């Protein structure tokens, strides 16, 4: 039952790409397929100078991309490395786009600065200007760019909000709807005070304990088809990954030896609600779900760039 979501296409592709080939020295080298995703970050501000308030700096954006690549590749020597037997290098990477939709080179790779004309952006069920106006009017082609918006969350409806994501469509995966939203809102939204890592630069507006970039890692997980580790319910609910233990609730802070169902919980998983400094695991089954999304889902499959990387 494990590795349930690896598709026939993936198996054939990896088989072709993993075959031995000879280099110029006569050595045999094996390769693995890397899924690379081009990113544009729409920095939504209210007229602040670059590097001030919601108009965050290019360095802060770079720090977040570094965190994503550490987390999704389980980089040795980074906060993302773990020795969990279910832990995975997901083979997914992110890079800042170099051209705008017109094909012109971007002065700041991967960045679109947007004066949103308001100091706060609420998110609510009855009226959500992020979904109804901001996203549709600023989104870049979601078949060519992974769209991320950074905003200043505010108002009662967004008081405790760190970020949110749009799930993929037509994945065929259990636990996901067929239709999860229109193409002109596809992407994730992150509060600018939680975007980037305080360990990679001087970004004074970042708020601990959510200052190491894991809010974005968590929301990208949703964008790639992952459910919360506790399945959004009690012990009878699941996240549809066999290698993530059941949990009856989200975890906060940095709990250890926590059990609410029958097994020790994986509170270090990126899809829980623990503090940034406590997260460092995506599992093999979570990896398989994300690969299935990148291979089959509208906008995801057109977006991803496949490259070959030597296996060491």
Strand 111-115 to strand 31-45: parallel, antiparallel, or no bridges (unpaired)?
parallel
Q: Are 35 and 106 in contact (CB under 8 A)?
A: no
Q: DSSP labels for 256-276?
A: -S--SSSS---TTBTTS---G
User: Of 66, 70, 131, 219, which is the active-site residue?
Assistant: 219
Residue 219 appears among annotated catalytic residues: yes
Long-range contacts of 241-249 (CB under 8 A, 24+ apart): 241/283, 241/285, 241/286, 241/289, 242/1, 242/2, 242/4, 242/285, 243/2, 243/86, 243/283, 243/284, 243/285, 243/286, 244/86, 244/269, 244/271, 244/283, 244/285, 244/286, 247/272
List the one residue out of 193, 214, 183, 234 whose CA is nearest residue 55: 193
Pair of tokens at residue 241: 């990954």
Residue positions annotated with a catalytic role = 219
């Amino acid at each position: 039952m494990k590795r349930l979501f690896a598709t026939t296409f993936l198996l054939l592709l990896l088989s072709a790409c993993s075959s031995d080939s000879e280099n110029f020295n006569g050595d045999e080298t094996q390769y693995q397929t890397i899924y690379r995703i081009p990113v544009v970050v729409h920095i939504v501000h209210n007229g602040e100078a670059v590097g001030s308030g919601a108009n965050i700096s290019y360095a802060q954006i770079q720090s977040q991309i570094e965190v994503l690549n550490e987390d999704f590749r389980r980089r040795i020597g980074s906060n993302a490395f773990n020795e969990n037997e279910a832990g995975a290098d997901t083979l997914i990477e992110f890079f800042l786009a170099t051209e705008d939709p017109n094909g012109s080179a971007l002065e700041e790779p991967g960045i679109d600065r947007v004066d949103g004309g308001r100091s706060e952006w609420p998110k609510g069920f009855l009226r959500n200007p992020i979904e109804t106006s901001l996203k549709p009017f600023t989104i870049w082609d979601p078949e060519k760019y992974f769209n991320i918006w950074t905003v200043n969350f505010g108002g009662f409806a967004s008081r405790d909000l760190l970020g949110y994501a749009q799930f993929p469509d037509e994945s065929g995966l259990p636990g996901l709807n067929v239709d999860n939203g229109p193409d002109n809102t596809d992407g994730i939204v992150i509060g600018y005070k939680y975007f980037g890592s305080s360990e990679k630069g001087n970004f004074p507006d970042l708020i601990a304990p959510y200052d190491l970039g894991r809010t974005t890692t968590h929301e990208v997980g949703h964008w790639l088809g992952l459910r919360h580790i506790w399945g959004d319910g009690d012990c009878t609910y699941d996240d549809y990954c066999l290698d993530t233990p059941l949990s009856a609730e989200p975890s906060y802070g940095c709990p250890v030896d926590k059990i609410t169902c029958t097994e020790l919980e994986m509170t270090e998983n990126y899809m829980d609600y623990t503090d940034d400094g406590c997260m460092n695991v995506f599992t093999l089954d979570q990896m398989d779900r994300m690969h299935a999304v990148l291979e089959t889902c509208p906008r995801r499959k057109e977006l991803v760039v496949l490259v070959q990387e030597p296996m060491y």
